[in-house]
Structure 1
Amino acid sequence: MTIYIFTGPTLSAAEGKKELDAVFLPPAAQGEVYRAALDKPVAIGIIDGYFERIPSVSHKEILWAMGQGVHVLGAASMGALRAAELSSFGMEGVGAVYDAYARGEIEADDEVAVVHASAEDGYRPASEAMVNLRATLRAAEAAGVIQGATAERIEHIAKGMFYADRCYPLLFRHAEEQGVSTVEIRALRNFLPEGRVDQKQIDARALLRVLRERFTGRVQPKPVRYHFEATDAWEHIRDKADRTAVAPGAGRTDPAIEELKRSDGYAAARRGALARALALEAARRQGRRSEGTALRDVVEALCRDRGLSGPGELVRWLEQQGVVEIERFLQDEAQVRWAEILYGPDADRCLADHLRSTGEYAALRDRALAREHGCERVRRLLGQGEELSFARVGRTER
């Protein structure tokens, strides 16, 4: 029987396969639980899922999947959050993080949020989840490494940090700046290599064990007691998912990106994509919205830059480029152009160091100096040539 698992930074597919024979997919985005359910698996386990810049897995698609007889369980991260929200409809949760959400001890999605690397880098986490920080602090307190009051102070400091900035070095620096005992911080640092608690991974492994125990034999379809209402919002999600469908288990590969990776331009394109991501993040942090005049300006700019006659031709051009959500794309483009204006001087100041990091600086510098030296020689030769020509003319005339 087929079981699908959505995971990524919490638990790698390679580690997950040691626990359970299943199809492991990347973190769930909106529409992907629906697409997985179309294949009629016996169960779907949600561990990790996207949010913020990529639409999150929706409640409606989980309800739809269970309505098709698919058992849906969640744990650790986005799965724990959705399981707590949909427990009354029959979605099952596993683990301590789910229990904390279900009891109302935690509520915010930033409790489990992390920033992580791309699929090529194995979704390696670049920050620490708040639930992991809290579990580690409690373990340190229980081991007598730090006092309870210190654990509470550091937890409060961590909770006040932006989720993407949460990491132990930065947390310890903030704690020292706010007067937390340096002796206890040093003791906590020494405790971390062995004492760090990865509660999310503990819960993820627990979920896989539950799935293995319950769904490897004959299983009855998931029973539900609710009536699924096919709302306009649901039809939009399903239509979008159908238009961007890929085979279950294939992951989200883009043929254009795969082709780019084979070319020499991949590194430069990825740098550009990074700049775009940072621009969008800067706009998000400042609470900036693109609408009205800003959207009209970006439409005019795109038409002008691409030689398009107007909005109608722009829409056709965007569709050719594979843009599915045109309004969202235009809003993002407006944010990027705003960031280009705001951070343009900073980019100019960083340009030389960027060229040094790519190894292009020396060749460009030498080429510029050679051109300048060559131009000077030409100027000198031209000056001499003019004098010689006059001299020859004079001799000829005589």
Structure 2
Amino acid sequence: MTAIVFIGPTISEAEVLSVLDADCWSPAAQGDVYRAVQQRPRFIGLIDGYFDGVASVWHKEILWALSEGVTVLGASSMGALRAAELSAFGMTGIGQIFKGYQSGKIEDDDEVAVVHGPAELGYLPLSEPMVNIRPTLEGAAASKVLSKEQSQYLCLLAKSMDYRERTWEQVLERSSSNELPKSVRQALADWLPENRIDQKKLDAFELLETIKRTMAEVHAPAQVSFTFEHTILWQQGTASWSVRQDTSEHSRNVLDELMLSDQQFAVRQKALLRKSAVDWAFERDVEFSASERREVTKRFREQAGLLSGAQLANWLSANDLSAEEFKELLIEELSVARLAEDDPEVFDAHALGVLKLEGAYESLARRALHKAEILGRREGETGAETSPSGLHPTVLEDWFFRQRPNYGGFGSVKAFVAAHGLQSKDDFYTILAREYLYLQQLESDAG
């Protein structure tokens, strides 16, 4: 993975992807930067983050990300705040809002804070931040819509309001007719839709462009001038932030139900495999491209019948998953697949061991010996090849996948081949050709 960007009301995922191939996460809360580093990105872009009701991103987790060699950039909102506070330690601040905080021209958190809608509505902003209001009013004065004094008056009025109530409609409604005549108020209202300045979005785009430009350069891991201290408080924090660690009573009850079911052993074995794969990928700084992430997401949704956004949202709710947790689960899927691809011979040896312990080896071994005997006899009697050279790959694919819709749920031959640990499509076609000819010969012998 190359870049993770925390976004919300400032900029949409579609806008991010129009500039940068990045993994978009929801507004950052405490522990989210730590969790993001587990995915081994080269860059973390902190734009949106929570202020109220949820613990904010901790400075120490950003310092830890920097000490791990991740380039962390901040802009627009929570990102600008944290970058101003941590720029001396290596965090990169981007944009005018960051510069305002760094210089002391901007001081208060409420300058960037907004009320916004839920994730289902794309974090729709429901209030206007001061960092957007101030340059917009300056622009109105420069355009002669307002006088300099009127611009300053409205700016002070907006600043005096609680950030939750700060909207253009409220600013205009609360303005004094003595300070802002009705005609001027209407002129400003008419001017705003086409001319309001969204400085937070402008800074967010600048952050994305900076990451994109830096990606194209030779990139050495970020160097820091401090030694990260693994304090008791840090250890307690990371213990509670461990990826998807869920100790709620409901989750504990679900696991109790699992223990009483027939699925317990199989689920436990799969969980151990996933943990091993995730640890393996983490230790080797394995990265997954955006196309790999999109493909595994597409494949899962097709397999699970989650074709619409509403179906996916309902499934996430039913499974107590956030969008980020869902993405992390799919990263685990990719880690398992990559582990199998990395050393297929070792993986195959373990697969044989599992077959033997589970009592499935003997029947498969008998069939393999019988197939070799039949195909050897057939080749000796007819001179016919048992390789795919005499059978077109399309014919073999149609035959094999006729009873396996959507390529066995993997979406493509390439994905199916990779998921089953084969080195190439040629190996796959050889296996299919041998099976096809084996069944054909059995049918001929029986007739």
Distance (whole Å) between structure 2 residues aligned to residue 245 and residue 138 of structure 1: 48
Query: Is 1:51 the counterpart of 2:51 in the alignment?
Result: yes
Deviation at 1:159, TM superposition (A): 0.5
1:241 maps to what in 2? Answer: 241
Deviation at 1:243, TM superposition (A): 5.9
Deviation at 1:180, TM superposition (A): 2.8
Distance (whole Å) between structure 1 residues aligned to residue 156 and residue 15 of structure 2: 33
- Equivalent pair of 2:87/2:93 in contact (CA under 8 Å): yes
Change (3 A) 1:111 1:171: same
- Post-superposition Cα deviations, 1:297-340, rounded to whole Å, max 9, x if no partner, equal xxxxxxxxxxxxxxxxxxxxxxxxxxxxxxxxxxxxxxxxxxxx
Query: Which of 300, 309, 317 is matched with 1:258 structurally?
Result: 317
Distance (whole Å) between structure 1 residues aligned to residue 170 and residue 155 of structure 2: 13
Deviation at 1:256, TM superposition (A): 9.4
Gaps of 5+ in 2: 247-277, 279-287, 298-311, 321-447
Change (3 A) 1:221 1:209: same
What do you get for the CA RMSD once the two structures are aligned? 2.4
1:196-215 matches, cutoff 5 A: 196-215=196-215
Deviation at 1:260, TM superposition (A): 8.8
1:18 maps to what in 2? Answer: 18
Distance (whole Å) between structure 2 residues aligned to residue 254 and residue 30 of structure 1: 24
Distance (whole Å) between structure 2 residues aligned to residue 137 and residue 245 of structure 1: 47
- Equivalent pair of 2:150/2:179 in contact (CA under 8 Å): no
1:30 maps to what in 2? Answer: 30
Distance (whole Å) between structure 1 residues aligned to residue 162 and residue 75 of structure 2: 23
Distance (whole Å) between structure 2 residues aligned to residue 256 and residue 230 of structure 1: 38
Deviation at 1:231, TM superposition (A): 2.5
TM-score (norm 2): 0.55
Deviation at 1:245, TM superposition (A): 4.8
Change (3 A) 1:178 1:164: farther
Distance (whole Å) between structure 2 residues aligned to residue 231 and residue 255 of structure 1: 40
TM-score (norm 1): 0.62
1:59-74 matches, cutoff 5 A: 59-74=59-74
Distance (whole Å) between structure 1 residues aligned to residue 25 and residue 122 of structure 2: 12
Change (3 A) 1:148 1:245: farther
Deviation at 1:244, TM superposition (A): 3.2
Indicate the SS of the match to 2:48. Answer: coil
2:228 maps to what in 1? Answer: 228
Deviation at 1:257, TM superposition (A): 6.9
- Post-superposition Cα deviations, 1:26-77, rounded to whole Å, max 9, x if no partner, equal 1111101111112221110000001210111110000000000000000111
Distance (whole Å) between structure 1 residues aligned to residue 69 and residue 78 of structure 2: 22
- Equivalent pair of 2:71/2:221 in contact (CA under 8 Å): yes
- Equivalent pair of 2:66/2:222 in contact (CA under 8 Å): yes
Gaps of 5+ in 1: 262-398
Letter aligned with residue 43 of structure 1: F
Deviation at 1:259, TM superposition (A): 1.9
- Post-superposition Cα deviations, 1:70-103, rounded to whole Å, max 9, x if no partner, equal 0000011110110000011110111110110111
Change (3 A) 1:159 1:64: same
